[in-house]
Amino acid sequence: MEEPIETLLAFFKALADATRLKIVGLLAQKESSVEEMAATLAVSPSTVSHHLAKLSEIGLVTARAEGYYNIYALQTDVLEGMAQKLLSSKTLPAVAQDLDRGAYDRQILKTYLAEDGTLTKVPSTRRKLDVILQFIAEKFENDRTYTEKEVNAVISALNPDISGLRRDLISARLLGREKDGSAYWRIRQV
Could you tell me what percent of the chain has a pLDDT over 70?
90
pLDDT at position 145 is 95
pLDDT at position 139 is 95
pLDDT at position 37 is 95
pLDDT at position 2 is 46
- Tell me the per-residue pLDDT of 147-174, one tens digit each, with 9 for 90 and over: 999 999 999 999 999 999 999 999 999 9
What average pLDDT score do residues 8-34 get?
91
Domain boundaries, the chain: 5-95, 103-186
Backbone angles phi, psi at 101, to 5 degrees: -70, -15
Residues 19, 34 contacting (CB under 8 angstroms): no
Flag whether pLDDT at 99 surpasses 80.
Answer: no
Lowest mean pLDDT among 38-47, 70-79, 97-106: 97-106
What average pLDDT score do residues 39-53 get?
96
C-alpha distances in Å from residue 156, one per residue of 122, 149, 165, 171, 172: 13, 10, 9, 18, 19
What's the whole-number average pLDDT of the chain? 90
pLDDT at position 4 is 64
Q: Provide the edge-to-edge strand list for the sheet that holds 175-177.
A: 145-146, 184-186, 175-177
Flag whether pLDDT at 108 surpasses 60.
Answer: yes
Flag whether pLDDT at 7 surpasses 90.
Answer: no
Q: Within its chain, how far is the Cα of 145 from the centroid? A: 37
Q: Work out the pLDDT band at 95, boundaries 50, 70, 90.
A: low
Tell me the C-alpha distance between 127 and 147, whole Å. Answer: 28
Flag whether pLDDT at 94 surpasses 70.
Answer: no
Flag whether pLDDT at 1 surpasses 60.
Answer: no
| Chosen CATH of 5-95 out of 1.10.260.40, 1.10.10.10, 3.30.70.260, 3.20.20.70 | 1.10.10.10
